[in-house]
Chain A
Amino acid sequence: MSDVEEAITRAHHEEWARVVAAVTRRFGDLDIAEEAAAEAFATAVERWPADGVPPNPGAWLTTTANRKAIDRIRRENKRDDKHKEAQMVYEADPPEPVGAIDDDRLRLIFTCCHPALAMETRVALTLRMVGGLTVPEIARAFLVAESAMGQRITRAKAKIKAARIPYRVPAAEDLPARLTGVLAVLYLAFNEGYLATGPDTDPVRQDLTAEAIRLTRLIRALLPQDGEVAGLLALMLLTEARRPARISVSGELVALDEQDRGAWDTGLIAEGHRLVRERLAAAAAGVALGRYQILAAINAVHTSARDIRDTDWSQVLALYDQLIRLDTSPIIALNRAIAVAELDGPEAALAIVDRLAEALAGYHAYHATRADLLRRLGQSQQSRAAYDRAIDLAGNTGETAYLTRRRDQLQ
Protein backbone atom coordinates (compact mmCIF):
# COMPACT_ATOMS: atom_id res chain seq x y z
CA MET A 1 0.00 0.00 0.00
CA SER A 2 1.39 3.43 -0.92
CA ASP A 3 1.64 6.21 1.66
CA VAL A 4 -1.31 8.03 0.11
CA GLU A 5 -3.47 4.91 0.06
CA GLU A 6 -2.57 4.33 3.67
CA ALA A 7 -3.48 7.91 4.54
CA ILE A 8 -6.86 7.50 2.84
CA THR A 9 -7.55 4.22 4.64
CA ARG A 10 -6.57 5.78 7.94
CA ALA A 11 -8.67 8.87 7.25
CA HIS A 12 -11.66 6.65 6.45
CA HIS A 13 -11.17 4.84 9.72
CA GLU A 14 -10.62 7.91 11.85
CA GLU A 15 -12.59 10.64 10.12
CA TRP A 16 -15.66 9.01 8.58
CA ALA A 17 -17.91 9.51 11.60
CA ARG A 18 -16.60 13.02 12.13
CA VAL A 19 -17.38 14.00 8.52
CA VAL A 20 -20.85 12.41 8.57
CA ALA A 21 -21.55 14.05 11.94
CA ALA A 22 -20.43 17.50 10.82
CA VAL A 23 -22.53 17.42 7.64
CA THR A 24 -25.53 16.04 9.54
CA ARG A 25 -25.33 18.90 12.00
CA ARG A 26 -25.25 21.44 9.21
CA PHE A 27 -27.97 20.01 7.00
CA GLY A 28 -29.97 17.90 9.43
CA ASP A 29 -30.25 14.97 7.05
CA LEU A 30 -28.46 11.65 7.44
CA ASP A 31 -28.96 10.71 3.78
CA ILE A 32 -27.32 13.84 2.48
CA ALA A 33 -24.55 13.55 5.07
CA GLU A 34 -23.75 9.99 4.10
CA GLU A 35 -23.72 10.68 0.37
CA ALA A 36 -21.63 13.78 0.83
CA ALA A 37 -19.11 11.97 3.03
CA ALA A 38 -18.79 9.17 0.47
CA GLU A 39 -18.26 11.74 -2.31
CA ALA A 40 -15.65 13.55 -0.24
CA PHE A 41 -13.68 10.32 0.23
CA ALA A 42 -14.01 9.57 -3.49
CA THR A 43 -12.60 13.03 -4.23
CA ALA A 44 -9.72 12.35 -1.82
CA VAL A 45 -8.92 9.15 -3.72
CA GLU A 46 -8.73 11.20 -6.94
CA ARG A 47 -6.89 14.22 -5.64
CA TRP A 48 -4.54 13.20 -2.84
CA PRO A 49 -2.21 11.09 -5.03
CA ALA A 50 -1.58 14.15 -7.25
CA ASP A 51 -1.89 17.02 -4.74
CA GLY A 52 -0.46 15.25 -1.70
CA VAL A 53 -2.24 14.46 1.58
CA PRO A 54 -3.55 17.69 3.15
CA PRO A 55 -2.05 18.67 6.53
CA ASN A 56 -5.42 18.19 8.26
CA PRO A 57 -7.24 15.40 6.40
CA GLY A 58 -10.31 15.56 8.65
CA ALA A 59 -10.87 19.26 8.04
CA TRP A 60 -10.24 18.83 4.29
CA LEU A 61 -12.77 15.99 4.11
CA THR A 62 -15.38 17.89 6.13
CA THR A 63 -15.05 21.01 3.98
CA THR A 64 -15.25 18.94 0.81
CA ALA A 65 -18.26 17.00 2.11
CA ASN A 66 -20.04 20.25 2.99
CA ARG A 67 -19.50 21.51 -0.58
CA LYS A 68 -20.75 18.21 -1.98
CA ALA A 69 -23.84 18.43 0.19
CA ILE A 70 -24.60 21.93 -1.09
CA ASP A 71 -24.09 20.76 -4.67
CA ARG A 72 -26.49 17.94 -4.05
CA ILE A 73 -29.13 20.16 -2.50
CA ARG A 74 -28.75 22.52 -5.48
CA ARG A 75 -29.17 19.65 -7.91
CA GLU A 76 -32.17 18.21 -6.12
CA ASN A 77 -33.99 21.36 -5.13
CA LYS A 78 -34.33 23.75 -7.99
CA ARG A 79 -36.57 25.81 -5.76
CA ASP A 80 -34.84 29.06 -4.92
CA ASP A 81 -35.79 29.27 -1.28
CA LYS A 82 -34.38 25.86 -0.34
CA HIS A 83 -31.22 26.64 -2.17
CA LYS A 84 -30.81 30.00 -0.49
CA GLU A 85 -31.56 28.46 2.86
CA ALA A 86 -28.84 25.87 2.41
CA GLN A 87 -26.32 28.45 1.38
CA MET A 88 -27.20 30.70 4.28
CA VAL A 89 -26.81 27.89 6.75
CA TYR A 90 -23.46 27.07 5.23
CA GLU A 91 -22.08 30.56 5.04
CA ALA A 92 -23.40 31.73 8.37
CA ASP A 93 -21.62 28.95 10.22
CA PRO A 94 -18.26 30.01 11.66
CA PRO A 95 -15.33 27.57 11.42
CA GLU A 96 -15.94 24.84 13.98
CA PRO A 97 -13.97 24.76 17.17
CA VAL A 98 -12.11 21.45 17.44
CA GLY A 99 -13.68 20.64 20.81
CA ALA A 100 -17.19 20.55 19.40
CA ILE A 101 -16.32 17.99 16.75
CA ASP A 102 -16.18 15.08 19.13
CA ASP A 103 -19.54 16.04 20.60
CA ASP A 104 -20.79 15.92 17.03
CA ARG A 105 -19.78 12.30 16.74
CA LEU A 106 -21.39 11.46 20.04
CA ARG A 107 -24.55 13.16 18.82
CA LEU A 108 -24.45 10.94 15.76
CA ILE A 109 -24.13 7.80 17.90
CA PHE A 110 -27.06 8.83 20.08
CA THR A 111 -29.17 9.63 17.03
CA CYS A 112 -28.46 6.23 15.48
CA CYS A 113 -29.23 4.55 18.81
CA HIS A 114 -32.51 6.38 19.44
CA PRO A 115 -35.02 4.30 21.40
CA ALA A 116 -37.67 4.95 18.71
CA LEU A 117 -35.71 2.62 16.41
CA ALA A 118 -35.74 -1.17 16.70
CA MET A 119 -32.66 -2.57 18.42
CA GLU A 120 -31.37 -4.39 15.32
CA THR A 121 -31.88 -1.23 13.27
CA ARG A 122 -29.90 0.76 15.82
CA VAL A 123 -26.98 -1.66 15.50
CA ALA A 124 -27.08 -1.57 11.70
CA LEU A 125 -27.41 2.19 11.49
CA THR A 126 -24.60 2.78 13.99
CA LEU A 127 -22.25 0.51 12.06
CA ARG A 128 -23.18 2.28 8.82
CA MET A 129 -23.25 5.93 9.84
CA VAL A 130 -20.72 5.97 12.65
CA GLY A 131 -18.54 3.00 11.76
CA GLY A 132 -18.53 3.55 8.01
CA LEU A 133 -19.16 -0.13 7.30
CA THR A 134 -20.69 -0.87 3.91
CA VAL A 135 -24.22 -2.22 3.57
CA PRO A 136 -22.94 -5.61 2.25
CA GLU A 137 -20.63 -5.89 5.28
CA ILE A 138 -23.46 -5.19 7.70
CA ALA A 139 -25.79 -7.54 5.82
CA ARG A 140 -23.19 -10.31 6.14
CA ALA A 141 -22.81 -9.68 9.84
CA PHE A 142 -26.54 -10.07 10.39
CA LEU A 143 -27.07 -12.87 7.89
CA VAL A 144 -29.66 -11.00 5.89
CA ALA A 145 -29.82 -10.19 2.22
CA GLU A 146 -28.05 -7.02 1.16
CA SER A 147 -31.27 -5.57 -0.25
CA ALA A 148 -33.11 -6.18 3.03
CA MET A 149 -30.34 -4.53 5.03
CA GLY A 150 -30.24 -1.61 2.59
CA GLN A 151 -33.98 -1.17 3.03
CA ARG A 152 -33.74 -1.37 6.80
CA ILE A 153 -31.12 1.37 6.87
CA THR A 154 -33.05 3.50 4.38
CA ARG A 155 -36.25 3.12 6.41
CA ALA A 156 -34.42 4.05 9.60
CA LYS A 157 -33.07 7.22 8.01
CA ALA A 158 -36.54 8.03 6.71
CA LYS A 159 -38.02 7.53 10.17
CA ILE A 160 -35.40 9.80 11.73
CA LYS A 161 -36.44 12.47 9.24
CA ALA A 162 -40.21 11.98 9.26
CA ALA A 163 -40.58 11.52 13.01
CA ARG A 164 -38.06 14.28 13.56
CA ILE A 165 -35.75 12.35 15.82
CA PRO A 166 -33.47 15.05 17.20
CA TYR A 167 -29.81 15.09 16.31
CA ARG A 168 -28.42 15.62 19.77
CA VAL A 169 -26.88 14.11 22.85
CA PRO A 170 -29.79 13.68 25.25
CA ALA A 171 -30.09 15.93 28.28
CA ALA A 172 -28.22 14.89 31.41
CA GLU A 173 -31.28 13.35 33.05
CA ASP A 174 -32.03 11.19 29.99
CA LEU A 175 -28.45 10.17 29.46
CA PRO A 176 -28.30 7.08 31.71
CA ALA A 177 -31.34 5.50 30.04
CA ARG A 178 -30.15 6.30 26.51
CA LEU A 179 -26.57 5.30 27.21
CA THR A 180 -27.77 1.82 28.17
CA GLY A 181 -29.13 1.37 24.65
CA VAL A 182 -25.93 2.69 23.07
CA LEU A 183 -23.78 0.30 25.10
CA ALA A 184 -26.10 -2.59 24.27
CA VAL A 185 -25.70 -1.79 20.56
CA LEU A 186 -21.93 -1.73 20.82
CA TYR A 187 -21.86 -4.96 22.83
CA LEU A 188 -24.09 -6.69 20.26
CA ALA A 189 -21.85 -5.51 17.44
CA PHE A 190 -18.80 -6.76 19.31
CA ASN A 191 -20.32 -10.16 20.04
CA GLU A 192 -21.39 -10.62 16.45
CA GLY A 193 -17.77 -10.04 15.50
CA TYR A 194 -16.38 -12.31 18.20
CA LEU A 195 -18.69 -15.22 17.46
CA ALA A 196 -19.72 -14.49 13.91
CA THR A 197 -22.65 -16.43 12.51
CA GLY A 198 -23.08 -17.90 9.06
CA PRO A 199 -21.86 -20.94 7.14
CA ASP A 200 -19.63 -18.85 4.87
CA THR A 201 -18.47 -16.36 7.48
CA ASP A 202 -15.07 -16.39 9.18
CA PRO A 203 -15.49 -17.56 12.78
CA VAL A 204 -14.22 -14.19 14.01
CA ARG A 205 -15.04 -10.87 12.31
CA GLN A 206 -12.14 -8.72 13.40
CA ASP A 207 -13.52 -5.72 11.52
CA LEU A 208 -16.61 -5.78 13.74
CA THR A 209 -14.79 -6.30 17.04
CA ALA A 210 -12.30 -3.56 16.17
CA GLU A 211 -15.07 -1.15 15.22
CA ALA A 212 -17.06 -1.85 18.39
CA ILE A 213 -13.93 -1.26 20.48
CA ARG A 214 -13.14 1.94 18.61
CA LEU A 215 -16.65 3.33 19.17
CA THR A 216 -16.61 2.33 22.83
CA ARG A 217 -13.25 4.07 23.24
CA LEU A 218 -14.83 7.15 21.71
CA ILE A 219 -17.65 7.09 24.25
CA ARG A 220 -15.15 6.44 27.03
CA ALA A 221 -13.19 9.54 25.97
CA LEU A 222 -16.37 11.59 26.04
CA LEU A 223 -17.87 10.15 29.23
CA PRO A 224 -14.79 9.19 31.27
CA GLN A 225 -16.74 9.19 34.56
CA ASP A 226 -19.24 6.52 33.54
CA GLY A 227 -18.50 3.18 35.19
CA GLU A 228 -20.45 1.04 32.74
CA VAL A 229 -18.67 2.61 29.75
CA ALA A 230 -15.35 1.75 31.40
CA GLY A 231 -16.69 -1.71 32.21
CA LEU A 232 -17.82 -2.41 28.65
CA LEU A 233 -14.52 -1.22 27.23
CA ALA A 234 -12.60 -3.45 29.67
CA LEU A 235 -14.87 -6.39 28.83
CA MET A 236 -14.25 -5.95 25.11
CA LEU A 237 -10.49 -5.52 25.53
CA LEU A 238 -10.12 -8.59 27.74
CA THR A 239 -12.23 -10.65 25.33
CA GLU A 240 -10.40 -9.36 22.27
CA ALA A 241 -7.05 -10.09 23.98
CA ARG A 242 -7.81 -13.83 23.78
CA ARG A 243 -8.72 -13.73 20.09
CA PRO A 244 -5.27 -14.82 18.77
CA ALA A 245 -5.59 -18.09 20.73
CA ARG A 246 -9.24 -18.70 20.07
CA ILE A 247 -9.22 -20.21 16.57
CA SER A 248 -6.92 -23.09 15.59
CA VAL A 249 -5.10 -23.19 12.26
CA SER A 250 -7.83 -25.52 11.00
CA GLY A 251 -10.49 -22.92 11.85
CA GLU A 252 -11.76 -24.69 14.93
CA LEU A 253 -12.81 -22.80 18.03
CA VAL A 254 -10.37 -23.41 20.91
CA ALA A 255 -12.08 -23.48 24.31
CA LEU A 256 -10.64 -21.45 27.18
CA ASP A 257 -9.09 -24.50 28.87
CA GLU A 258 -7.19 -25.47 25.71
CA GLN A 259 -5.99 -22.02 24.64
CA ASP A 260 -2.30 -21.15 24.36
CA ARG A 261 -2.21 -18.37 26.91
CA GLY A 262 1.16 -17.22 25.61
CA ALA A 263 -0.66 -16.03 22.48
CA TRP A 264 -2.93 -13.67 24.36
CA ASP A 265 -2.40 -9.96 23.73
CA THR A 266 -0.65 -8.70 26.85
CA GLY A 267 -1.10 -5.03 25.91
CA LEU A 268 -4.89 -5.35 25.75
CA ILE A 269 -4.93 -7.40 28.94
CA ALA A 270 -2.92 -4.75 30.80
CA GLU A 271 -5.26 -2.02 29.59
CA GLY A 272 -8.34 -4.06 30.51
CA HIS A 273 -6.97 -4.88 33.95
CA ARG A 274 -6.25 -1.20 34.58
CA LEU A 275 -9.87 -0.34 33.85
CA VAL A 276 -11.16 -3.20 36.01
CA ARG A 277 -8.94 -2.11 38.92
CA GLU A 278 -10.29 1.42 38.54
CA ARG A 279 -13.87 0.11 38.79
CA LEU A 280 -13.10 -2.22 41.69
CA ALA A 281 -11.62 0.75 43.54
CA ALA A 282 -14.85 2.65 42.89
CA ALA A 283 -16.83 -0.36 44.15
CA ALA A 284 -14.70 -0.45 47.30
CA ALA A 285 -15.64 3.19 47.80
CA GLY A 286 -19.31 2.24 47.69
CA VAL A 287 -20.28 2.60 44.00
CA ALA A 288 -22.58 -0.19 42.79
CA LEU A 289 -21.13 -2.07 39.80
CA GLY A 290 -23.24 -2.60 36.69
CA ARG A 291 -23.33 -5.75 34.57
CA TYR A 292 -20.55 -4.79 32.14
CA GLN A 293 -18.23 -3.98 35.03
CA ILE A 294 -18.93 -7.34 36.66
CA LEU A 295 -18.50 -9.20 33.37
CA ALA A 296 -15.21 -7.36 32.87
CA ALA A 297 -14.11 -8.38 36.38
CA ILE A 298 -14.90 -12.04 35.56
CA ASN A 299 -12.79 -11.74 32.43
CA ALA A 300 -10.03 -10.13 34.48
CA VAL A 301 -9.96 -13.21 36.73
CA HIS A 302 -9.65 -15.49 33.69
CA THR A 303 -6.93 -13.41 32.06
CA SER A 304 -4.96 -13.23 35.32
CA ALA A 305 -4.47 -16.99 35.45
CA ARG A 306 -1.32 -18.27 33.75
CA ASP A 307 -2.87 -21.67 33.45
CA ILE A 308 -6.51 -22.80 33.52
CA ARG A 309 -5.65 -24.67 36.78
CA ASP A 310 -4.65 -21.35 38.38
CA THR A 311 -8.09 -19.82 37.73
CA ASP A 312 -9.64 -18.45 40.90
CA TRP A 313 -13.02 -20.10 40.37
CA SER A 314 -14.40 -19.04 43.73
CA GLN A 315 -13.81 -15.43 42.68
CA VAL A 316 -15.53 -16.12 39.36
CA LEU A 317 -18.49 -17.66 41.15
CA ALA A 318 -18.71 -14.76 43.61
CA LEU A 319 -18.86 -12.34 40.69
CA TYR A 320 -21.56 -14.40 38.97
CA ASP A 321 -23.54 -14.40 42.21
CA GLN A 322 -23.29 -10.63 42.19
CA LEU A 323 -24.24 -10.46 38.50
CA ILE A 324 -27.26 -12.72 38.83
CA ARG A 325 -28.79 -10.28 41.30
CA LEU A 326 -28.68 -7.58 38.60
CA ASP A 327 -29.47 -9.69 35.58
CA THR A 328 -31.82 -12.63 35.96
CA SER A 329 -31.23 -13.79 32.39
CA PRO A 330 -31.01 -17.60 32.10
CA ILE A 331 -27.84 -17.14 30.03
CA ILE A 332 -26.11 -15.65 33.09
CA ALA A 333 -27.37 -18.59 35.15
CA LEU A 334 -25.90 -20.95 32.53
CA ASN A 335 -22.50 -19.29 32.66
CA ARG A 336 -22.59 -19.32 36.45
CA ALA A 337 -23.17 -23.08 36.33
CA ILE A 338 -19.83 -23.49 34.51
CA ALA A 339 -18.07 -21.97 37.53
CA VAL A 340 -20.14 -24.19 39.84
CA ALA A 341 -18.91 -27.23 37.88
CA GLU A 342 -15.31 -26.26 38.58
CA LEU A 343 -15.90 -25.77 42.30
CA ASP A 344 -18.60 -28.32 43.22
CA GLY A 345 -18.33 -30.78 40.34
CA PRO A 346 -20.34 -31.47 37.19
CA GLU A 347 -23.28 -33.06 39.01
CA ALA A 348 -24.12 -29.90 40.96
CA ALA A 349 -23.75 -27.85 37.78
CA LEU A 350 -25.96 -30.19 35.77
CA ALA A 351 -28.75 -29.81 38.32
CA ILE A 352 -28.65 -26.03 37.75
CA VAL A 353 -28.39 -26.35 33.99
CA ASP A 354 -31.32 -28.77 33.75
CA ARG A 355 -33.56 -26.21 35.44
CA LEU A 356 -32.87 -23.85 32.49
CA ALA A 357 -34.13 -26.37 29.92
CA GLU A 358 -37.31 -24.54 29.09
CA ALA A 359 -35.82 -21.07 28.79
CA LEU A 360 -32.77 -22.08 26.77
CA ALA A 361 -34.02 -24.99 24.63
CA GLY A 362 -33.15 -23.12 21.43
CA TYR A 363 -29.74 -21.84 22.57
CA HIS A 364 -26.72 -23.78 21.33
CA ALA A 365 -24.55 -22.94 24.36
CA TYR A 366 -27.10 -24.54 26.69
CA HIS A 367 -26.79 -27.86 24.87
CA ALA A 368 -23.01 -27.53 24.54
CA THR A 369 -22.65 -26.90 28.29
CA ARG A 370 -24.92 -29.83 29.09
CA ALA A 371 -23.02 -32.06 26.68
CA ASP A 372 -19.75 -31.22 28.41
CA LEU A 373 -21.14 -31.85 31.91
CA LEU A 374 -22.69 -35.18 30.83
CA ARG A 375 -19.35 -36.16 29.25
CA ARG A 376 -17.56 -35.46 32.52
CA LEU A 377 -20.14 -37.58 34.33
CA GLY A 378 -19.49 -40.47 31.94
CA GLN A 379 -22.99 -40.37 30.45
CA SER A 380 -21.79 -40.72 26.87
CA GLN A 381 -25.07 -41.46 25.21
CA GLN A 382 -26.87 -38.45 26.66
CA SER A 383 -23.82 -36.33 26.05
CA ARG A 384 -23.77 -37.32 22.39
CA ALA A 385 -27.44 -36.32 22.01
CA ALA A 386 -26.74 -32.94 23.61
CA TYR A 387 -23.74 -32.37 21.29
CA ASP A 388 -25.95 -33.20 18.31
CA ARG A 389 -28.49 -30.62 19.40
CA ALA A 390 -25.76 -28.01 20.02
CA ILE A 391 -24.24 -28.65 16.58
CA ASP A 392 -27.65 -28.21 14.96
CA LEU A 393 -28.13 -24.85 16.65
CA ALA A 394 -24.60 -23.40 16.49
CA GLY A 395 -24.22 -20.77 13.78
CA ASN A 396 -20.46 -20.28 14.04
CA THR A 397 -18.26 -22.42 11.81
CA GLY A 398 -15.43 -22.65 14.37
CA GLU A 399 -17.82 -23.68 17.09
CA THR A 400 -19.49 -26.32 14.93
CA ALA A 401 -16.07 -27.83 14.19
CA TYR A 402 -15.14 -27.83 17.89
CA LEU A 403 -18.42 -29.43 19.00
CA THR A 404 -18.20 -32.06 16.28
CA ARG A 405 -14.69 -33.07 17.39
CA ARG A 406 -15.75 -33.25 21.04
CA ARG A 407 -18.75 -35.40 20.13
CA ASP A 408 -16.66 -37.74 18.02
CA GLN A 409 -14.19 -38.19 20.88
CA LEU A 410 -16.92 -39.67 23.08
CA GLN A 411 -16.50 -43.35 23.83
Chain B
Amino acid sequence: MQYLVSVIDDKSNPGSTDRRPAISAFNERLIAEGYWVFAGGLADTDAATVIDNRGEQAVFSDGPFVESKEYLAGVWVWEAPDLDVALKLAAEASKVCDRKVEVRPFR
Protein backbone atom coordinates (compact mmCIF):
# COMPACT_ATOMS: atom_id res chain seq x y z
CA MET B 1 0.00 0.00 0.00
CA GLN B 2 1.24 3.49 -0.79
CA TYR B 3 1.28 6.29 1.74
CA LEU B 4 1.67 10.02 1.26
CA VAL B 5 3.85 11.44 3.99
CA SER B 6 3.46 15.19 4.21
CA VAL B 7 6.07 17.28 5.94
CA ILE B 8 4.36 20.02 7.91
CA ASP B 9 6.22 23.21 8.54
CA ASP B 10 5.10 25.67 11.12
CA LYS B 11 5.67 29.41 10.91
CA SER B 12 5.35 29.99 14.64
CA ASN B 13 7.35 26.95 15.68
CA PRO B 14 9.74 26.15 12.84
CA GLY B 15 12.11 23.21 12.98
CA SER B 16 15.83 23.49 12.46
CA THR B 17 16.85 24.69 9.01
CA ASP B 18 19.57 22.47 7.69
CA ARG B 19 18.37 18.93 7.84
CA ARG B 20 19.46 17.95 4.34
CA PRO B 21 22.35 15.60 5.19
CA ALA B 22 20.20 13.72 7.71
CA ILE B 23 17.27 13.54 5.27
CA SER B 24 19.55 12.27 2.49
CA ALA B 25 20.87 9.51 4.73
CA PHE B 26 17.32 8.57 5.71
CA ASN B 27 16.29 8.53 2.03
CA GLU B 28 19.17 6.20 1.21
CA ARG B 29 17.85 3.83 3.81
CA LEU B 30 14.28 4.05 2.49
CA ILE B 31 15.61 3.13 -0.96
CA ALA B 32 17.76 0.28 0.35
CA GLU B 33 14.86 -1.19 2.33
CA GLY B 34 12.37 -0.89 -0.52
CA TYR B 35 10.00 1.73 0.92
CA TRP B 36 10.97 4.64 -1.30
CA VAL B 37 8.68 5.66 -4.17
CA PHE B 38 9.17 9.40 -4.46
CA ALA B 39 10.07 12.46 -2.44
CA GLY B 40 10.41 16.19 -2.93
CA GLY B 41 10.70 19.42 -1.02
CA LEU B 42 8.43 22.31 -1.93
CA ALA B 43 9.21 25.98 -2.43
CA ASP B 44 7.72 28.39 0.08
CA THR B 45 3.93 28.91 0.02
CA ASP B 46 4.65 32.42 -1.38
CA ALA B 47 5.39 30.64 -4.66
CA ALA B 48 1.97 28.95 -4.81
CA THR B 49 -0.78 29.81 -7.27
CA VAL B 50 -4.33 28.47 -7.06
CA ILE B 51 -6.28 27.88 -10.27
CA ASP B 52 -10.05 27.44 -10.47
CA ASN B 53 -11.31 26.59 -13.92
CA ARG B 54 -14.66 25.16 -12.90
CA GLY B 55 -16.47 28.27 -14.14
CA GLU B 56 -16.48 30.00 -17.52
CA GLN B 57 -12.87 30.96 -17.40
CA ALA B 58 -9.87 30.05 -15.37
CA VAL B 59 -9.26 32.18 -12.31
CA PHE B 60 -5.69 32.40 -11.07
CA SER B 61 -5.11 33.55 -7.56
CA ASP B 62 -1.95 34.25 -5.67
CA GLY B 63 -0.97 32.19 -2.64
CA PRO B 64 -1.74 28.81 -1.12
CA PHE B 65 -5.30 27.47 -1.01
CA VAL B 66 -5.40 27.88 2.72
CA GLU B 67 -3.63 30.44 4.88
CA SER B 68 -2.52 28.98 8.19
CA LYS B 69 0.50 28.91 10.42
CA GLU B 70 1.09 25.34 9.26
CA TYR B 71 1.77 24.50 5.66
CA LEU B 72 2.98 21.68 3.47
CA ALA B 73 6.75 21.85 3.03
CA GLY B 74 7.45 18.59 1.25
CA VAL B 75 6.23 15.09 0.56
CA TRP B 76 7.33 11.48 0.53
CA VAL B 77 5.51 8.63 -1.11
CA TRP B 78 6.26 5.29 0.51
CA GLU B 79 5.31 1.76 -0.28
CA ALA B 80 4.67 -0.07 3.00
CA PRO B 81 2.84 -3.30 3.84
CA ASP B 82 0.61 -1.66 6.44
CA LEU B 83 0.03 1.41 8.59
CA ASP B 84 2.19 0.20 11.48
CA VAL B 85 5.23 0.06 9.23
CA ALA B 86 4.41 3.48 7.77
CA LEU B 87 3.93 4.97 11.24
CA LYS B 88 7.21 3.62 12.50
CA LEU B 89 9.04 5.12 9.50
CA ALA B 90 7.08 8.35 9.92
CA ALA B 91 8.21 8.65 13.53
CA GLU B 92 11.81 8.43 12.31
CA ALA B 93 11.09 10.83 9.46
CA SER B 94 9.73 13.44 11.85
CA LYS B 95 12.89 13.24 13.92
CA VAL B 96 15.15 13.28 10.87
CA CYS B 97 13.58 16.38 9.29
CA ASP B 98 12.69 17.98 12.66
CA ARG B 99 9.12 18.65 11.62
CA LYS B 100 5.66 17.18 12.08
CA VAL B 101 4.61 14.72 9.39
CA GLU B 102 1.22 13.42 8.32
CA VAL B 103 0.71 9.87 7.04
CA ARG B 104 -2.17 9.25 4.67
CA PRO B 105 -2.84 6.17 2.58
CA PHE B 106 -3.58 6.45 -1.12
CA ARG B 107 -7.00 5.13 -1.97
Q: Which A residues form the contact surface with B (CB < 8 A)?
A: 114-116, 162-166, 170, 174
Contact = CB atoms under 8 A, between A and B. Distances in A.
A155 to B, nearest CB: 15
Contacts of A166: 82-84
Nearest to B107: A162
Interface of B: 1, 82-84, 87, 103-105, 107
A115 B87 CA distance: 10
A164 B82 contact: yes
A164 B87 contact: no
A163 B84 contact: no
Given A116-B87, A164-B83, A165-B83, 9 more contacts: A115-B87, A162-B105, A162-B107, A163-B83, A164-B82, A164-B105, A165-B82, A166-B84, A174-B84
A114 B104 CA distance: 15
Q: Is the interface of B mostly helix, strand, loop or mixed?
A: mixed
22 contacts: A114-B83, A115-B87, A116-B83, A116-B87, A162-B105, A162-B107, A163-B83, A163-B103, A163-B104, A163-B105, A164-B1, A164-B82, A164-B83, A164-B105, A165-B82, A165-B83, A165-B84, A166-B82, A166-B83, A166-B84, A170-B84, A174-B84
Contacts of B83: 114, 116, 163-166
Contacts of A170: 84
A169 to B, nearest CB: 11
Contacts of B82: 164-166
Contacts of B105: 162-164
Nearest to B87: A116
Contacts of A163: 83, 103-105
Best-buried of B1, B82, B83 by chain A (most CB within 10 Å): B83
A162 B1 CA distance: 10
B40 to A, nearest CB: 23
Max chain B C-beta neighbours (<10 A), residue from A114, A115, A164, A170: A164
A188 B105 CA distance: 30
A163 B107 CA distance: 9
A175 B107 CA distance: 29
Contacts of B87: 115-116
Contacts of B107: 162
A114 B107 CA distance: 20
B16 to A, nearest CB: 26
